[in-house]
C-alpha cells in the first residue's frame, strides 16, 4: 500500500515514501531528484520503495551495454534507463525496488565501507522473513565489460549484494552513488518470476527467488533499518 511514514536516524527523521506501482519512465528521475533534494538540504534522509508497472531494464551510470542486450530488449519491448548509481543491468517488473538517501556516519565514505554500514539491516530483514542471507563474495567486474554475463547484475553477487546463505541465489542487487555529504543506494529484490524471458536478454535464466510478500518485506525492512540507522 502506498503511503508515507517516519523512522528515526540518530535524532534526524528518516522519511518513508511507499509509492506503490510506478511507470517505468519515471523511476530513475524520481530517485535522482531524491538525491538532489537531500544534497540541497530540502528533505531528511528518505527511503523510497516502489514497484514497476511493466518490465524495464536499468543499467549502471558507467556501464557499456552489450549490443545483444540492447537489440533483444528492443525486440521484447523492454525500455532501457540509465541509473544514477553504478553496477550492471537489472531487469525490473517482478521486484521491489528501493532508493535510500542518507549520510552514513563515516569520515571517508568509500563505497564498500558505506555498504558495510547498511547491509546488516538487509541481512536481518531476510532472516526475519525466514530466508537465511549473507553478503556476496564475487569480485566486482568492470562495468565497461560484460565479462560473458550479458551485462547482467544478477549473474554474480559482490560484497555489495545479498545472497541466500544456503543456495547462493542472489536475493538483492545494490548500487551506490557516494558523495562526502550524502549517499544514494538503489536496490532490487526479486519477489516473483520475471515477466519476460531473461535468457533472451542476458543469455542465461535467473533462478526462482524465494516467495516474498512485498508489504511484509517493506515492514520488516523498516524495522531493521530503524535498528541500524536509529
Is 145 a member of any domain? Answer: yes
How far apart are the C-alpha atoms of 161 and 173, rounded to whole Å? 5
Is 141 a member of any domain? Answer: yes
Of all residues in the chain, the percent with pLDDT exceeding 90 is 77
Ramachandran area for residue 125 (φ above 0: left; ψ -120 to 50: alpha; else beta): alpha
Residue among 13, 48, 14 nearest 28 (CA): 48
From first to last of its 230 residues, the chain has per-residue pLDDT tens of 456 555 444 445 778 999 999 999 999 999 999 999 999 999 999 999 999 999 999 999 999 999 999 999 999 999 999 999 999 999 999 999 999 999 998 888 888 899 999 999 999 999 999 999 999 987 666 555 555 789 999 999 988 899 999 999 999 999 999 999 999 999 999 999 999 999 999 999 999 999 899 999 999 998 898 788 76
Is 46 a member of any domain? Answer: yes
Domain that holds residue 182: 8-229
Is 99 a member of any domain? Answer: yes
- The CA-atom distances, in angstroms, between 184 and each of 37, 65, 81, 167, 168 are 11, 22, 17, 29, 26
10: number of Cβ within 10 Å: 10
Exposure string for 48-73, b = 16+ CB within 10 A, e = fewer: bbbbbeebbbbbbeebebbeebbebb
Is 3 a member of any domain? Answer: no
Looking up residue 107, the CATH number of its domain turns out to be 3.30.930.10
In the numeric block, which cell numbers belong to residue 20? 506503490
> Given this model, what pLDDT does residue 102 score?
93
How far apart are the C-alpha atoms of 105 and 117, rounded to whole Å? 8
In the numeric block, which cell numbers belong to residue 142? 568492470
Q: How many residues does the chain have?
A: 230
> Given this model, what pLDDT does residue 226 score?
78
- Domains: count for the chain: 1
Instruction: Tell me the average pLDDT of the chain.
Output: 90
Is 107 a member of any domain? Answer: yes
Is 1 a member of any domain? Answer: no
- 66 with 169: CB under 8 angstroms? no
Q: Using one digit for the tens of pLDDT, what is the confidence trace for 60-83?
A: 999 999 999 999 999 999 999 999
> Given this model, what pLDDT does residue 111 score?
87
Is 215 a member of any domain? Answer: yes
Element (H, E) at 133: strand 133-135
Amino acid at each position: 500500500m502506498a503511503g508515507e511514514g517516519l523512522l528515526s536516524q540518530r535524532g534526524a527523521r528518516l522519511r518513508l515514501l511507499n509509492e506503490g506501482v510506478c511507470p517505468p519512465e519515471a523511476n530513475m528521475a524520481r530517485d535522482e531528484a531524491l538525491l538532489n533534494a537531500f544534497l540541497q538540504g530540502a528533505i531528511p534522509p528518505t527511503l523510497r520503495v516502489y514497484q514497476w508497472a511493466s518490465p524495464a531494464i536499468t543499467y549502471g551510470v558507467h556501464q557499456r551495454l552489450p549490443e545483444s542486450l540492447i537489440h533483444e530488449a528492443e525486440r521484447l519491448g523492454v525500455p532501457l534507463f540509465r541509473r544514477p548509481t553504478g553496477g550492471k543491468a537489472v531487469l525490473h517488473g517482478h521486484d521491489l525496488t528501493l532508493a535510500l538517501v542518507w549520510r552514513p556516519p563515516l569520515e571517508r565514505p568509500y563505497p564498500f565501507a558505506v555498504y558495510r554500514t547498511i547491509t546488516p539491516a538487509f541481512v536481518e530483514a531476510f532472516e526475519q522473513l525466514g530466508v537465511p542471507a549473507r553478503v556476496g563474495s564475487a569480485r566486482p567486474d568492470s562495468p565497461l565489460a560484460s565479462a560473458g554475463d550479458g551485462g547482467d547484475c544478477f549473474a554474480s553477487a559482490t560484497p555489495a549484494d545479498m545472497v541466500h546463505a544456503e543456495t547462493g541465489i542472489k536475493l538483492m542487487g545494490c548500487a551506490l552513488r557516494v558523495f562526502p555529504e550524502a549517499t544514494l543506494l538503489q536496490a532490487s529484490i526479486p519477489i516473483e518470476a520475471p515477466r519476460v524471458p531473461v535468457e533472451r536478454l542476458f543469455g542465461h535464466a535467473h533462478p526462482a527467488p524465494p516467495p516474498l510478500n512485498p508489504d511484509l518485506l517493506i515492514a520488516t525492512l523498516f524495522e531493521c533499518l530503524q535498528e541500524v540507522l536509529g
